[in-house]
Structures are given as C-alpha cells and as structure tokens.
C-alpha cells in the first residue's frame, strides 16, 4: 500500500474514492465522539498510518495506533454498530480486516448478489482435482468443494427435513464414486435406523452400521483402537499426518470417515460420562491427525453435549435452518441460521476457513444412492423378513387393503411380545427408505405395501413350505 495525498475529484478513479472514504470515516468518527480535545482546545482525531488500494476493488485504511486519541480504543472503533454507521456514511461496505492492529476495508466495487438456486443436483463432473474432495454446496459463483484433509472434522446442524441427510448422502456419494475400499472406509452410527441402511453391505464399511447406544459405543471403541494403532505406525515413520505416512510407508492406510447422525440424542442416551462420550471427545481432539475424520450431525444442538472440548476441534461448521438463534450459535458461533428460509430445503450457512458462506446443498436422490450401492456390491442380497415382519405384512394385505397403518397394526399385535407400536413405526420408516413401502400421499394417508415387499413375502412363504415338506 502507498499513501495518497488529497486527490482531485475524478469520477471512477479508485484512488480518489478511497481518499474520500478515508476523509468521511475520520469525520464520522469525530462526530461520534471517538476523538480527544486537549486542554488547549486542540482536537486529536483518528488518523491513518497508511491508505492504499488492492486492485480497483478494495481500499485499505490502516489506523495509526501510535497516535490514537486518549480514551479511544480499538474495540470502540471496530464495534459492529460503528462499522454499520461508517458503511452508511461512506455509502459502501466498510469492514474490519482480521489483521494485527486495526485496518478498515472499504469495498469500492461491491459485487451484485446473484440468487442461489432452490434446487441443484450433484454433478460429479464438476469435482475439482485433489484428494478426498467432497461437495459442500452451490454458491453464487459456482460449486464449492473442499478436501477432507483440509476440513478435518465437520459439525452439521439443522431442524428436521432441512437437508442434513441429503448433504451427508451427497458427501458419501462423492467419495464412494471415486475411492475404493482400500482408500476410504466408513463408520456409520445411525440412531434412527433409516437414514443410511442403503449402505449396508458395501465393502467400504469398516464396522456394521450402529443403531443402538451399545453398538455406538462399540464403534467408537474400534475407532479408538485404530487411532492408537495408527499413532504407533506414524511414530515409526516420523509422520505427522496421513499423507506423510502414506508417502513414506510401504502400505497405504485408508481415510476413515465416521458419520454420526443425531449425535446429541445418542450422546444423551449413552450418558455424558459414558464410554461413547469420552471416546468422542478424544477422537475429536486427536483422530484427525491420523486420518480419522468425524462428521457429526444433529437436529438438536445442545451446548452441554457439543461443548468446547468437541466444538473447538470441529473447524468446519454447516448450519441448515434451525429453530433458535441459540442453536445457530452452538453450530456456527454466530446467529443467522434461524433466518434461513424454511421452504427451501438444503439452504445452509457454512463456515469454511474464516468465511461464512450462504450455499444451496446438492441433491442426490434415493434412486441414485441405491444404484451406487448396488454397483459397489452392497444391497445385492435381498433383505430377509423376520417372522413378525411377515405377519405384519400379511395382516396389512388381508385386513387393511395393503395399507401399513401403524396404529391399527399396533392394536392388532398388542399382545405379541415380538413387537410394539414404536418398533412398527421404526420398521415403517426403514421400509419406506428402502422402497418396500410407498411414501404417504398426504399427512393422514398410510404407507402402502409395494409389489417388491409382496414378492419378498411370497418367496419366503414358499421357501418355508418347501423346507418344511
């Protein structure tokens, strides 16, 4: 930057524009009382050590802290309401740069904000070069991708049906389409038991998909053991991260991506003094260095669960629509996600590096996921129905005209110890996800038994009769 003396008014000359902005800012600060009058009546105003340009777009005003007026502090000069007032006075955005001291940035050429799309499909052809690159979302300037080696652990929050699961599926689809099981392994904890069942059986799974608290603890136990094993391996090669180890060692260790859905609920079920929660804190603080990445998702972001020991190690934060500003602050460190439009599923605020971006999440359909899973070798084996499941389907067909009505089924099987209303509801949600039941036509309509589910029932009944004869 170079210092510019007073310039003649030249329309469109950025040097004149930044000099004029500097004059207006100093004058505005004085009117706000951010100055000092000496006993002899001399007025000491805020002054600049340097005034310069970055290209033709930004003017930089570095405040001279050595000659700062008495009782005027950097905090007062950089407060949000001060910057808002200076923006109004200058007529252009005035921001504070995150540098040592205090430097005002005047945006001389604000870029017009384009509209984000309301719906955008995942296009893997737009994947940029790099290792373990995942899609974040569509921005106003194009698709935003990041490498998991750079993001490290990720925290995702948002209310129900805001787009969390779709974002997770787009991330998994991008990884599974590119990397083999020798390069990427998955550990999945799915308390709902419906969001990620499609991935059961793929070779990339490091552990079985966990649904219960006990299974979740076992998954984190395995991750802790793997982290400790890798620590010893890395020490033998003086490697500080996965890339360094894979470059120096004869073997290539895979990146382990751990997806924990509804992390708040599973942590509360296990207990905040449980083995699961203790493991989670340790993994968040250490596992990233050893090629184990946590992706934590929740629709109920409680600060007592996602405390500073965990959040402090989750450098990448993504917030879809949330209910309250408190939830937004828990995820992002700032409010704003509560104002995202509820009618646009997938709209998010993403904190990447030091930037907070508004993006639209990519859409990947259930059919695309199922096709991918079948290509990878998972989901090829037809699911087998348990005896109670066969009875439920048969009852729905014979007595409910094919409607899988949870309330009526629960009443009909109330005396059957093999099931309950809760289990029937979970089963219906899982079967809908797997395409064995149709989606309800409207809020009060039941799910319907599909021809595929009937075929499964018929084949198992036939096989049972043949084996008994």
The contacts of residue 19 (CB under 8 Å, 6+ apart) are 4, 6, 7, 51
**177-183: long-range pairs with CB below 8 Å, 24+:** 177/124, 177/372, 178/124, 178/127, 179/132, 179/255, 181/254, 182/252, 182/254, 183/252, 183/254, 183/255
The CATH class, in words, for 382-468 is mainly alpha
Query: What's the CA gap between 373 and 380, in Å, rounded?
Result: 8
The answer to whether 354 and 112 are in contact (CB under 8 A) is no
Query: What's the CA gap between 218 and 243, in Å, rounded?
Result: 27
Task: Write down the pLDDT at residue 8.
Answer: 41
Task: Write down the pLDDT at residue 352.
Answer: 86
Task: Write down the pLDDT at residue 9.
Answer: 46
State whether the Cα torsion 222-227-230-232 is positive or negative: negative
Q: Which CATH number fits domain 120-373: 3.40.50.300, 3.60.120.10, 3.40.50.170, 1.20.120.160?
A: 3.40.50.300
- DSSP per residue, 429-452: HHHHHHTSBPPPSSTTPPEEB-HH
Q: What does the domain layout of the chain look like in residue ranges?
A: 14-107, 120-373, 382-468
Query: What's the CA gap between 279 and 260, in Å, rounded?
Result: 13
Query: Which phi and psi (to 5°) does residue 279 adopt?
Result: -60, -40
Query: Which phi and psi (to 5°) does residue 457 adopt?
Result: -60, -45
Query: What's the CA gap between 276 and 284, in Å, rounded?
Result: 12
Task: Write down the pLDDT at residue 337.
Answer: 93
DSSP 228: H
- pLDDT tens across the length of the chain (469 residues): 434 344 344 546 788 889 999 999 999 999 998 998 888 888 889 999 889 888 777 889 999 988 899 888 888 998 888 999 999 888 889 988 877 788 899 988 776 667 889 899 998 888 999 999 999 999 988 899 999 999 889 999 999 889 999 999 999 999 999 999 999 999 999 998 878 988 988 999 998 889 889 999 999 999 999 999 999 999 999 999 999 999 999 889 999 999 999 999 999 999 999 999 999 999 999 999 999 999 999 999 999 999 988 988 998 999 999 999 999 999 998 888 999 998 899 999 999 866 789 999 999 988 888 889 888 876 544 567 888 999 999 999 999 999 999 999 999 999 988 889 988 998 998 888 777 898 888 878 899 998 878 878 887 777 666 655 5
**pTM score over 0.85:** no
Both tokens of 415, joined, read 């005396």
Task: Determine the longest span between alpha carbons in the chain, in angstroms.
Answer: 113
DSSP 250: S
The answer to whether 392 and 419 are in contact (CB under 8 A) is yes
Task: Write down the pLDDT at residue 466.
Answer: 60
Angle, alpha carbons 415-416-421 (nearest 5°) = 85
Q: Pick from 337, 156, 352: which is nearest to 263 by CA?
A: 156
Both tokens of 230, joined, read 């890798």
Please classify residue 207 by burial: count the beta carbons closer than 10 Å to its beta carbon, then call 0-12 exposed, 13-18 middle and 19+ buried.
buried
């Amino acid at each position: 930057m170079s210092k510019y003396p007073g310039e003649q008014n030249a329309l469109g000359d950025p040097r004149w524009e930044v000099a004029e902005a500097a004059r207006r800012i100093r004058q505005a600060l004085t009117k706000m009382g951010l100055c000092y009058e000496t006993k002899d009546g001399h007025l000491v105003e805020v002054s600049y050590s340097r005034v310069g340009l970055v290209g033709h777009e930004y003017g930089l005003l570095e405040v001279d802290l050595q000659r700062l007026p008495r009782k005027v502090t950097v905090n007062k000069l950089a407060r949000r309401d001060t910057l808002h007032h200076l923006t109004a006075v200058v007529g252009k955005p005035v921001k504070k740069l995150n540098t040592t001291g205090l430097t005002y940035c005047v945006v001389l050429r604000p870029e017009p904000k384009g509209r984000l799309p309301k719906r955008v499909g995942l296009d893997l052809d737009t994947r940029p070069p790099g290792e373990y690159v995942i899609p974040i979302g569509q921005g106003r300037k194009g698709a935003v991708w990041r490498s998991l080696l750079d993001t490290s652990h990720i925290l995702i929050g948002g209310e129900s049906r805001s787009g969390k699961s779709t974002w997770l599926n787009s991330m998994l689809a991008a990884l599974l389409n590119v990397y083999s099981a020798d390069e990427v392994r998955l550990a999945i904890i799915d308390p709902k038991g419906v969001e990620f069942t499609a991935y059961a059986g793929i070779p990339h799974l490091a552990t079985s998909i966990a649904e219960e608290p006990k299974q979740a603890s076992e998954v984190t136990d395995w991750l802790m053991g793997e982290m400790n094993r890798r620590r010893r391996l890395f020490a033998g090669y003086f490697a500080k991260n996965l890339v360094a180890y894979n470059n120096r060692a004869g073997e290539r260790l895979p990146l382990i991506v751990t997806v924990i859905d509804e992390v708040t609920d599973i942590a509360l079920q296990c207990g905040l003094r449980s083995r699961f929660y203790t493991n989670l804190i340790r993994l968040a603080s250490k596992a990233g260095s050893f090629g184990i990445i946590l992706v934590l998702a929740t629709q109920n972001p409680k600060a007592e669960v996602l405390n500073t020991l965990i959040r402090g190690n989750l450098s990448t934060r993504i917030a879809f629509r949330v209910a309250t500003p408190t939830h937004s602050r828990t995820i992002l460190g700032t409010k704003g996600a509560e104002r995202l439009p509820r009618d646009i599923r997938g709209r998010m605020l993403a904190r990447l590096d030091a930037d907070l971006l508004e993006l639209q999440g990519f859409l990947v359909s259930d059919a695309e996921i199922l096709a991918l899973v079948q290509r990878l070798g998972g989901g090829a084996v037809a699911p087998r129905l348990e005896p109670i499941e066969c009875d439920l389907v048969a009852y729905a067909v014979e007595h409910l005209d094919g409607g899988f009505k949870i309330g009526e089924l629960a009443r009909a099987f109330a005396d059957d110890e093999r099931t309950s209303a809760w289990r029937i509801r979970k089963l219906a949600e899982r079967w809908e996800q797997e395409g064995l039941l149709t989606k309800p036509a409207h809020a009060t309509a039941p799910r319907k038994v599909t021809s595929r589910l009937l075929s499964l029932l018929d084949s198992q009944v036939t096989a049972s009769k043949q084996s008994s004869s």
